[in-house]
Amino acid sequence: MDVIICKDAAEAGRYAAAKIAMVAKEVGNRFVLGVATGSSPLRTYQALADLVDSGKLDISEGSAFALDEYVGLPKGHPESYAEVIRKTVTEPLHLKPENVHVPDGFAKDLKQAALDYDAAIKAIGGVDVQILGVGSNGHIGFNEPTSSLASRTRIKTLTPQTREDNARFFDSLEQVPHHCLTQGLGTIMEARNVVLVADGEHKAEAIAAVVEGPITSMFPGSVLQMHQHATIIVDEAAASKLKLADYYRDMLEHLPEWQRVKVA
Ligand code: F6R
């Protein structure tokens, strides 16, 4: 696991975008990006859009798969993740809408929709870089505490904590759905690279548990310790509870040239 501590959230976004762009260039036209919603990746999307707009990155032939979707929000609902991804990812990164996939939280047969989603990821050859945020309770995707570490895309019930955390996007807590479709931890772990971004003091405990805590389904993000290519990119506030912060800083300073990510 690589832990990158940046001075602020904007720098973390630029670092994450540079890392993603490096992989995209290696992969070429068949690049598959895994995308998250929520506040954490917004600066990464902005930095990626800057690379696209300045002609330094072109992923217009690539595909994207979202991590999750609420169950029951009607198509076109502004807080449905399909809409959020369209506005924050598809349009600014000039992806073709037909190449951007979000689980169908409005499907009649949700079980089948979940199976189909995993099958679609497999059929395309898997995700090259999965962008992640982390919930205050340690969830990645919507894999809430006690999710199986081997889980696949499926229906999950959101915890009261997650519904409260996400109520800021809705007019009231009552409007936040109770259920979602989410890629499983096993699905996420199959991405060839994962990049988790977090900023702010309120994420410090979650980051310490993901990076330095025991691997446990009580803190689902900790499963990333088993991933061979996981990069955790945080600002100073989110890094504030890391015991080995000085080591991570020292490691970044002394990275061999060939491992360096060139931040635009
Ligand atoms: C969203 C997702 C969630 C969020 C997490 C953090 O697609 O999968 O795991 O990444 O809830 O949300 P923010 O970034 O809003 O704090």
Catalytic residue among 11, 69, 128, 144: 144
Kindly report the CATH number assigned to the domain that includes residue 140.
3.40.50.1360
Q: Does residue 154's CB lie within 6 angstroms of at least one atom of ligand 1?
A: no
> How much is the pLDDT for 263?
82
pLDDT at residue 171 tops 80:
yes
Catalytic residue among 137, 143, 166, 193: 137
> How much is the pLDDT for 262?
84
Q: Name, in order, each residue with C-beta under 8 angstroms of 174's C-beta and a sequence gap of 6 or more.
A: none
For residues 157-185, one letter each, b for 16 or more C-beta atoms within 10 angstroms of the residue's C-beta and e for the rest, the string is ebbeebbebbeeebeeeeebbeebbbbbb
For residue 26, give its domain range. 2-191+202-259
Q: Is residue 49 part of a domain?
A: yes
> How much is the pLDDT for 79?
95
Atom index in ligand 1 nearest the CA of residue 162 equals 11
CA distance linking residue 225 with residue 172, whole number of Å: 36
Q: Is residue 196 part of a domain?
A: no
Which band of pLDDT confidence, cut at 50, 70 and 90, is reported for residue 129? Answer: very high
Atom index in ligand 1 nearest the CA of residue 41 equals 14
- Mean pLDDT, rounded, for 22-43: 97
Q: How many domains does the chain contain in total?
A: 1
Residue 45: CB atoms within 10 A of its CB come to: 21
- Mean pLDDT, rounded, for 81-108: 97
> How much is the pLDDT for 149?
98
Which band of pLDDT confidence, cut at 50, 70 and 90, is reported for residue 127? Answer: very high
> How much is the pLDDT for 227?
98
Least confident of 140-149, 207-216, 255-264: 255-264
Q: Is residue 82 part of a domain?
A: yes
- Mean pLDDT, rounded, for 108-137: 97
Is there a catalytic annotation at residue 143? no
Query: Residue 242 Cα, ligand 1 centroid: separation in angstroms?
Result: 20
> How much is the pLDDT for 106?
93
Catalytic residue among 77, 139, 165, 235: 139
pLDDT at residue 264 tops 80:
no
Q: Is residue 264 part of a domain?
A: no
Predicted TM-score (pTM) of this structure: 0.97
> How much is the pLDDT for 207?
98
